[in-house]
Amino acid sequence: MICVMGILEAGFPDTRCSGGNSKGKAMPYYPLFLDISRRQCVVIGGGKVAERKIERLLACGARVEVVGKVLTPALVALKKNGRIVHHETDYEETLIRGAFLVIGATDNDAVNGRIAKDARALGILVNIVDEPARCDFILPSIVERGDLSIAVSTGGKSPALAKKIRMELDALYGPEYSTLLEIMGKLREKMIAEGRPSAENRGRFEAVVTSGILDHIRAKRWKEVEALILERTGIEMEVESR
């Protein structure tokens, strides 16, 4: 999954970017996690910034096409390995037709403006790097621990502050959270299979996550983890050593 903070409805005027709502205030972004697996995503630009965006899109399972005459060595390698489709040409509107999402990562203001205008006319979600006023969505700073994703956005006002907060979260949430999430996922399957009421299951879930289970995971005390789960939920569960 890719986290996208602030999707606005594609194909309609962006009142947030064009001066706000009827009262002249900036409209807030709508936070969501967007599934782009097997979706066509086009990145215009072949530099280091584009490279970072492309790597993230690929990690989320997107079908990535890149437009630009010059690619970084890393992008050349991705092209050789068949990971990306490369259009070795200047940007044209026809190159984004049919795309689900477009990212403009060029250093040419006029080209970036055309990308934003064309994408909106075609009803395609668009992000122009470092230009919130031309974006339908912005990409937050992310902390990931396995399937756990924590997103930080400042609404495009201060990427530096978002980075600072991300680093603080990175230090606060260690790898034990990834392990806990794996355990909770398996536990959830077992609980649902029992067919008990949702409210009862919710209470048992909360009893586990608010316990000392994280301390046991950090210390790799797997038998204690199993005993705690049995005590709090009544479910016997084998936890694999890590």
CATH number at residue 28: 3.40.50.720
* pLDDT exceeds cutoff 50 at 8: no
Domain of residue 28 covers 2-139
Could you tell me which of 25, 5, 6, 7 has the C-alpha nearest to residue 15? 25
* Least confident interval from 20-34, 59-73, 218-232: 20-34
| 84: region left, alpha or beta (phi > 0 left; psi from -120 to 50 alpha) | beta
Share of the chain above pLDDT 90, in %: 79
Structural domain includes residue 239: no
CB 136 within 8 A of CB 127: yes
**190 and 135 share one domain:** no
Total-model pTM: 0.77
* pLDDT exceeds cutoff 90 at 187: yes
* Least confident interval from 6-10, 49-53, 164-168: 6-10
**183 and 117 share one domain:** no
| 98: region left, alpha or beta (phi > 0 left; psi from -120 to 50 alpha) | left
Structural domain includes residue 156: no
Structural domain includes residue 24: yes
* Least confident interval from 21-35, 102-116, 145-159, 218-232: 21-35
pLDDT band at 68 (very low <50, low <70, confident <90, very high): very high
Structural domain includes residue 155: no
3-class state of residue 77 by DSSP: helix
Q: What is the pLDDT of residue 30?
A: 86
Average the pLDDT over 34-49 and give the result: 97
Mean residue pLDDT of the chain comes to 89
Integer Cα distance of 103 and 136 in angstroms: 10
pLDDT band at 72 (very low <50, low <70, confident <90, very high): very high
Structural domain includes residue 242: no
* pLDDT exceeds cutoff 70 at 214: yes
Structural domain includes residue 98: yes
* pLDDT exceeds cutoff 90 at 79: yes
Rg (CA), the chain: 22
Structural domain includes residue 152: no
Q: What is the domain count for the chain?
A: 2
* pLDDT exceeds cutoff 60 at 4: no
**109 and 204 share one domain:** no
| Residue 117: Cβ within 10 Å count | 13
